A and B are shown apart, each in its own frame.
Chain A
Amino acid sequence: MTAETRRGILLQALTTSPTPVTVGRLALLLNSSPRTVRYDLDELAEWLIPHRVKLVRRPGRGVWLEGDQETLPSLRLGAGKAAADPYLPAAQRQALATVRLLASRSGVDTAELASLLDVTRATIYRELDRIASWLRERSLSLERSRGRAWVIGAEVQLRSVLHELLREWILETDLGSVGPLGADGPGRLAPSVGVRMLRELGVSNPLKLRDAVSRAAALAAYPLTPGQAVGLLFWSAIVHARIAAGGAVELPADTVATAAQLPEYRLASELLGQLGHVPEHQEAAFMAISARDARYGPSELGNFDPGRVQNRARRLALTFARQAGSLIGVELDQDEDLIRGLMLHLEPALDRMRLGVVAPNPLLEDIKAKYGGLFAIAKQATQTLGDEYGLRYGGLADEEIGYLAVHLGAALERLTTPGDQALKAVLVCQHGVGTAQLLASLLASRLPELRVCGFASAHAVEQEASRHDADIVITTRPLAGVSLPVFLVNPIPDMIELTALRTRLYSLLRVLRRAKPGKLEALTGGASPLMLEHVLTEKTISLNAQAENWQEAIRRAGELLVQVGAVKPEYIDGMIRGVETIGPYIVVGPGIAMPHARPEDGALRVGLSCVRLTAPVTFPGKEDNPVDLVFAFAGTDNTSHLTVMGQLARVLSEPSLVERIRQARSVGDVLAVVNSVPAI
């Protein structure tokens, strides 16, 4: 990075920050030493003098600008490199390089990628390896030969990965809607990564693309929703770029036939025409399904009116909710939040199934572990949707069912959660108050268990949070040094992100219930029992413990329970006494002992520890069965530990899982086993 580029970034950081910035943070931003930053600040201060702007530095507070702030946005640090080769963080450069790869016809020169990624030719291969593995997770493969790199994979997959990238990095502001912050507007010293991504796809002016979308909607007499318009912008750019690169989708004939019946089909045909392409059936069908997805899937910005749309989406949602409800034994079809959530998810999911596209669900394993029972119920309930809705295509992917399970979990929580027991959140938004309000209303409409109680800048989070007695912080940019749980979201989160957020909120609700009995005492365990993963944690697992005899083995395991506050020290004696008086039946299987005592022997709460001995010990009367795994547990009554015991039994009765614990190289390996066991 040149000195000029660095100073350009410093100036941008200082003009946009509402509060002083420390030299340490600026150094972090530039990835350079504080000393370099100080030197750059000296130069910058001098350069600012003729512009009547003063650069102030105060030890302990940081750096800020004083003077006529209005004129600052128009400042340019000379011509040259700052504007032509703007600095982007590594993650953004990688995303940008991936977009270039995905949009190319015949691959990209690795030297060109090296310069884009800002790495030397010597290290470009490591960077490409990283991109390759990211693509591999999405069923695409990065090929390399003779100084070029290119991506191979199904066209539909290529496009959906491009969509994922755009959705992640492009902000509303990049699309030219907010005026002064728009593409290359006066507020920016350099185009943002979103703007540059669009350029990679051949879109130099997003406003023109916007016009094309609105014209197509007018010609097709199709009422676009605001969220759908944004989604279509993405898809237009993607389809345009992929067709230009010679890519063509190949959808099954019946998919094309189904899509041709959609109201979005005409819109799609008009849009392709507006983009200058022949609206042939395959592409029009793809665009139509994408348009539908953009309407009922991602951001609709909270304007959804369930009463108005008595359509297929609602019928599907009601059918599913009734069926799931009858399987669980509760009435769910009255829960309008659930129906709305399902409407936004179920129909697009069925469309995706027909397209053969799987929406990635990074939380799938988590959901299966936490909501195992609900997952099974959701799966069963989708069967009732029947052939009419296309389940003959082989049923919904687990990824989709995972989301449905979370919706069900949320509905069950609502049955037991009084409305005023919602989690209170402070929202940190650095894209302006307008975006913050938008995000707040979006969150409010999609996450009834959440209440946005205030807005704050990144620097005043703690004060604002304590003023409102908030439980969590939701932010659009990474935050450091905040004591509350922090949730990072996009300024315009899509359905998948919202569902992910919801899953995490529920985990938190559970934790809060235990941690803050005063605050959330009205909530009972009901739908979310205490599970194995809550009690068997890294603090209660010890993999290389040493014990001379069986008593010591029990002590090692018991000490872990004492350390986490699950039992009083005398509980350990209780466990040893149990063996002495009743016998060694706690040696339950080959090499496995499960010592425990009665609740009244000093149990404080449900607890479980796992100790793996480096050398086995034998118990009296069980000399033929040396023990190397000791699971000590405690419960406060006869039922609180039921789920935990059930899950532990599942692990222990599965020899392959026991073997994984025996072979575990780290506590993490054991936790992976723990997390793989569903609740029922």
Chain B
Amino acid sequence: MKILTVCGMGFGTSLMLKMFIQDLLKEMNIKAETDVSDLGSVKGSQVDLVVAPADMKGHLADLKTRVIYIDNLIDKSEIRSKVVPLLKQLQNPVGGG
């Protein structure tokens, strides 16, 4: 599984997002690759999931990959509630239910 976090320049906010997501992955014991990207390069990358600030909705609208938008980028509980269900789903693509 590959997860990409995105921000305008690919080295500030996206790094912070990536770190929070790595924490979650570790906690859930899921192995996944995480990387950061700036807005310009995100379109060419092959990933399973993109996590980005909510302000970037306009810039990422035509992306084929599934995108999770975060409003409060330092709120771990928001990130958790939005990312965890998808991580579980991606880990078990067949679904459980």
Interface residues of A (CB under 8 A from B): 578, 581-586, 588-590, 592, 594, 596-599, 621, 633, 635, 638, 641-642, 645-646, 648-649, 652-653
- Residues of A contacting B28 with CB < 8 Å? none
Docked Cα-Cα span, A599 to B72, in Å, equals 25
A554 to chain B, nearest CB (A): 13
- Residue of B whose beta carbon sits closest to that of A619: B55
20 CB-based A-B contacts, threshold 8 Å: A578-B8, A581-B8, A583-B55, A583-B59, A585-B8, A585-B53, A585-B54, A585-B56, A586-B8, A589-B72, A589-B73, A592-B74, A598-B11, A599-B11, A635-B11, A638-B10, A645-B12, A645-B19, A649-B20, A649-B74
Within 8 A of A (CB), among B47-97: 53-56, 58-59, 72-76
Q: Which of B16, B36, B56 contacts A583 (CB 8 A)?
A: B56
Contact B74 A638 (CB under 8 A): no
Within 8 A of A (CB), among B1-24: 7-13, 15-16, 19-20
- Residues of A contacting B58 with CB < 8 Å? 583
Known: A584-B55, A594-B12, A638-B11. A589 touches B19 (CB 8 A): no
B82 to chain A, nearest CB (A): 15
B41 to chain A, nearest CB (A): 12
- Residues of B contacting A638 with CB < 8 Å? 10-11, 36
Known: A649-B19, A653-B76. A585 touches B11 (CB 8 A): no
Task: Known A-B contacts: A584-B55, A599-B11. Give 6 more (CB < 8 A).
Answer: A582-B56, A633-B12, A642-B15, A648-B16, A649-B16, A649-B19
Docked Cα-Cα span, A645 to B19, in Å, equals 9
- Residue of B whose beta carbon sits closest to that of A582: B8
Contact A597 B16 (CB under 8 A): no
- Residue of A whose beta carbon sits closest to that of B53: A585
- Residues of B contacting A596 with CB < 8 Å? 9, 11-12
Contact A583 B20 (CB under 8 A): no
Q: Report the number of A-B residue pairs with Cβ-Cβ less than 8 Å.
A: 74
- Residues of A contacting B42 with CB < 8 Å? none
Q: Is B39 an interface residue (CB 8 A)?
A: yes
- Residues of B contacting A653 with CB < 8 Å? 20, 74-76
- Residues of B contacting A635 with CB < 8 Å? 11
Contact B9 A578 (CB under 8 A): yes
Contact B73 A588 (CB under 8 A): yes
Interface residues of B (CB under 8 A from A): 7-13, 15-16, 19-20, 36, 39, 53-56, 58-59, 72-76
Contact B19 A646 (CB under 8 A): yes
- Residues of A contacting B55 with CB < 8 Å? 583-585, 621
Contact B74 A645 (CB under 8 A): no
- Residues of A contacting B59 with CB < 8 Å? 582-583
B6 to chain A, nearest CB (A): 10
B79 to chain A, nearest CB (A): 9
B88 to chain A, nearest CB (A): 22
A401 to chain B, nearest CB (A): 23
- Residues of A contacting B20 with CB < 8 Å? 649, 653
- Residues of A contacting B72 with CB < 8 Å? 588-590
Contact B13 A585 (CB under 8 A): yes
Contact A589 B9 (CB under 8 A): no
A317 to chain B, nearest CB (A): 31
- Residues of B contacting A584 with CB < 8 Å? 55
- Residue of A whose beta carbon sits closest to that of B7: A585
Contact A582 B75 (CB under 8 A): no
Contact B15 A588 (CB under 8 A): no
- Residues of A contacting B12 with CB < 8 Å? 586, 594, 596, 633, 645
A575 to chain B, nearest CB (A): 10
- Residues of B contacting A592 with CB < 8 Å? 74
- Residue of A whose beta carbon sits closest to that of B72: A589
- Residues of B contacting A598 with CB < 8 Å? 9, 11
- Residues of A contacting B15 with CB < 8 Å? 641-642, 645-646, 649
Q: Quick one: which of B11, B13, B19, B75 has the most chain A CB within 10 A?
A: B11
- Residues of B contacting A590 with CB < 8 Å? 72
Contact A583 B75 (CB under 8 A): no
- Residue of A whose beta carbon sits closest to that of B75: A589
A32 to chain B, nearest CB (A): 58
- Residues of A contacting B53 with CB < 8 Å? 585, 588
Contact A594 B8 (CB under 8 A): no
- Residue of B whose beta carbon sits closest to that of A631: B12
Docked Cα-Cα span, A3 to B53, in Å, equals 76
Known: A585-B56, A588-B73, A653-B76. A597 touches B9 (CB 8 A): yes
- Residues of B contacting A586 with CB < 8 Å? 8, 12-13
A585 to chain B, nearest CB (A): 4
B35 to chain A, nearest CB (A): 10
A531 to chain B, nearest CB (A): 15
